[in-house]
Chain A
């Protein structure tokens, strides 16, 4: 009969062995078989009662396991990390709640009875001491729950309403004034469009978090793309040493890189290749600056029995929360001292008490610090080719114009209105007084008034003057396809019986719109630039900012160079100032023709700068999305970080009173829609657009659901409440003008 304790420990070793085999997926077979052999023989000996001192032998065996694990820990590849974080034995949020916090209550549902079991929300308590006194500190814990592989947890892939639930409780925490700890355990969001929509809800979360007035600490284990961003726009971002944080799953990247068709699978080699080239490890992201601190895990990654690790994690989240609180203090000297004390690894945080509530002023500072933190990221991933004098000049102009603009708009306009109101009232009074005085005299005068005969005939039958003959629409820009003598079939012809269109008519005069059913063929980005804005009013800026290959992704520099040559631009985002009937505005255009309109560090930077420029100038800001395929995966987290970063820029612009309008034209998907585009309160779409989080192929791949045709059409997006309206391409100018005039206004927004 084997001792119960020994049996348990054997069982534990079995599990460690399975885990080791799983995460290495066939690699290091010799080590695995060695351990297996030893374990087997130990067990056999135990069964046969051959063991003299089971406890010593057991300990020796465990040491061997630990030794092998330590040794193999040095060989871990990025893809191994992916397998680690997805392994059912990996620690889960529930383990963290049990072991890191002193007590907790789940508030976001229980087990499978939840709006979305993959999003877990709990109010938790941390107890700290100062002298004899005990303090209870509350936090809102939010994160994805993988539930050790429980099916209903959906692997931590959160549905749109799960993210909405998270946002809701973040706002609750804000009301209660307690810090938020988020734990990122997600391979990515569940890509369905049902309300509130995968992309649009993540965008709302990012926008919301950009302004949360309580400290937010995020801890990354599996940081998969947009799903991770949905809860991680935080003041401090910690990362578990064996986790990954990536713009896309390595499998997804491999499918794109290998041009894999739906139903096929990328080779393991290609997936490994992508995993290592995407630079997804904690160390990589720490170096890039997207992670503030790495929390060291035990060899081969933390599992629920690593109690020492939970103590470390507890220390680190407390430290991070304290640091955020301290950094909002207004006295710089005290702040510096406190931070230094806290930063020391020896600091006994359990016996130190820092109040986690903030004063009004500190809250403002907190938000400002968080926003600036994100705005300052990823600057090294682009190349700024502006000559030094241009940069200097821009800085000088800012220096001069900023005070003037803030005087003009913030002070003068405000008071001007008050003055005007007073003047109008005075005027009204005077008018009514005047009428009273003149009334008797007026009646007399009326009698003498002689009606002048009008020559109606002449007015009604001769040529009138007409200065603005705008009827015959002649587009300034015609698609180059208009030169090709060729018939074109409308994709709706089976449904609506459209006859073939003549290419030169379709791509010239018809502006790419089927004259039978109104189907919109995609057009070039230049079409809108030249046909929507006033003639000669477009002035580009920051054209020199160049998209690069910051991760040295294999063969990617050439592809970027090719896109640059094809489009005649340095990046996929063109930013310019323009006018529509003398309404001035700033436009950031994402070009679907530049690597699918993917957004990398350069595009993100230009977008952010455009928002800043619009803010400084007090102009409306239009994001014209000719097309975007998502964040540029070959730039890894350099691209992904643009999601929170640009959302912060947009939020700062909107909060300063700006009018931010988004217009989608062709295919607009993934990251950008799930962040700085989807957060706009005014999103419109040209009829040609498809809007969503992931394309049909990806949805099928990740969820197994067949997606009906036209699932992402603008009409569907409108029905789901993701966008505010659909425009005909030929009416963009009129509609945009109308939107600026009606939504924007002197008092609410800049005009």
Chain B
């Protein structure tokens, strides 16, 4: 059992994620004129994320200038302005954006570390078996119980469907990480299971994050 309080504290100590923006390929780099250290930037916006984020730089290769834009909201905490006008290698770090974690992201991190994750064995599409699916829809609160060996998923790949049994501790399904009709990579978590003794604690933590995280 993880110490959730300590986990939360450690996140609180550095409540951000540093995203290093790298050159996707070689080319000559020109920084956007209005970019400076400490400046705040936005990620893609719009209802469908159709509007690109803040322009950071232009990378020109074979007379094809390509905009490099911020992918997440944050603040520029490192800027390699010495690269201005240089021909850079693929993967060269251009800038670092410090992204402050949102409440949902914190919840996500803590749950991923606390819950027992059941991972996808292969790249495939996953569905709950119909009975479970019905129960999942019936209630807003996590209530579907699982136990080892229980038939839980239908794994669909190459037009073949295979039933998949749950392995791991008994508990209830607390988080669902896959979407309908979406391919999931092997090793990616499908569901997060919370054991019955864990449950009150997790609920308390979530409640605390909800009230305390700004």
A residues whose Cβ falls under 8 Å from a Cβ of B: 485-489, 500, 502, 706, 708-709
In the complex, which of the residues A485, A500, A708, A709 contacts B61, with contact meaning CB atoms closer than 8 Å? A500
**Beta-carbon contact of B64 and A488 below 8 Å:** yes
**Beta-carbon contact of A486 and B47 below 8 Å:** no
**Beta-carbon contact of A487 and B63 below 8 Å:** yes
Give the distance in Å from the alpha carbon of A488 to the alpha carbon of B48 in the complex.
25
Report, as a range, how many residues of chain B touch the other chain: under 10
Measured CB to CB, the nearest residue on chain B to A499 is B25
* Other 4 A-B pairs with CB < 8 A, given A487-B62, A709-B50: A486-B63, A488-B64, A489-B66, A502-B62
Measured CB to CB, the nearest residue on chain B to A502 is B62
Contact residues in A for B66 (Cβ distance below 8 Å): 489
CB-based A-B contact count at 8 angstroms:
23
Contact residues in A for B50 (Cβ distance below 8 Å): 708-709
Give the distance in Å from the alpha carbon of A599 to the alpha carbon of B13 in the complex.
64
Give the distance in Å from the alpha carbon of A485 to the alpha carbon of B50 in the complex.
30
Measured CB to CB, the nearest residue on chain A to B60 is A487
Contact residues in B for A500 (Cβ distance below 8 Å): 61-62, 64
Give the distance in Å from the alpha carbon of A487 to the alpha carbon of B63 in the complex.
6
Contact residues in A for B46 (Cβ distance below 8 Å): 706
B residues whose Cβ falls under 8 Å from a Cβ of A: 46-48, 50, 61-64, 66
Give the distance in Å from the alpha carbon of A500 to the alpha carbon of B25 in the complex.
11
Give the distance in Å from the alpha carbon of A642 to the alpha carbon of B62 in the complex.
46
**Beta-carbon contact of A708 and B63 below 8 Å:** no
**Beta-carbon contact of A708 and B47 below 8 Å:** yes
Ranked 6 nearest A-B pairs via Cβ: A487-B62, A487-B64, A486-B63, A709-B50, A706-B47, A708-B48
Contact residues in B for A486 (Cβ distance below 8 Å): 62-64
In the assembled complex, 23 residue pairs joining A and B whose CB atoms fall closer than 8 Å, in A order, are A485-B62, A485-B63, A486-B62, A486-B63, A486-B64, A487-B61, A487-B62, A487-B63, A487-B64, A488-B64, A489-B64, A489-B66, A500-B61, A500-B62, A500-B64, A502-B62, A706-B46, A706-B47, A708-B47, A708-B48, A708-B50, A709-B48, A709-B50
Measured CB to CB, the nearest residue on chain A to B62 is A487
B53 to chain A, nearest CB (A): 12
A32 to chain B, nearest CB (A): 44
A705 to chain B, nearest CB (A): 10
B48 to chain A, nearest CB (A): 5
A484 to chain B, nearest CB (A): 8
Give the distance in Å from the alpha carbon of A709 to the alpha carbon of B63 in the complex.
28
Measured CB to CB, the nearest residue on chain B to A485 is B63
B35 to chain A, nearest CB (A): 21
Measured CB to CB, the nearest residue on chain A to B66 is A489
Q: Which residue, A486, A487, A488, A708, has most C-beta atoms of chain B within 10 A? A: A487
Contact residues in B for A488 (Cβ distance below 8 Å): 64
Give the distance in Å from the alpha carbon of A485 to the alpha carbon of B61 in the complex.
12
Measured CB to CB, the nearest residue on chain A to B50 is A709
Give the distance in Å from the alpha carbon of A508 to the alpha carbon of B50 in the complex.
31
Contact residues in B for A708 (Cβ distance below 8 Å): 47-48, 50
Give the distance in Å from the alpha carbon of A486 to the alpha carbon of B62 in the complex.
6
Give the distance in Å from the alpha carbon of A706 to the alpha carbon of B47 in the complex.
8
Give the distance in Å from the alpha carbon of A489 to the alpha carbon of B62 in the complex.
11
B68 to chain A, nearest CB (A): 12
Measured CB to CB, the nearest residue on chain A to B49 is A709
Contact residues in A for B62 (Cβ distance below 8 Å): 485-487, 500, 502
Give the distance in Å from the alpha carbon of A323 to the alpha carbon of B37 in the complex.
79
Give the distance in Å from the alpha carbon of A485 to the alpha carbon of B47 in the complex.
37
Give the distance in Å from the alpha carbon of A222 to the alpha carbon of B105 in the complex.
54
Give the distance in Å from the alpha carbon of A708 to the alpha carbon of B66 in the complex.
24
Give the distance in Å from the alpha carbon of A696 to the alpha carbon of B13 in the complex.
45
Contact residues in A for B47 (Cβ distance below 8 Å): 706, 708
B66 to chain A, nearest CB (A): 6
Give the distance in Å from the alpha carbon of A708 to the alpha carbon of B61 in the complex.
31
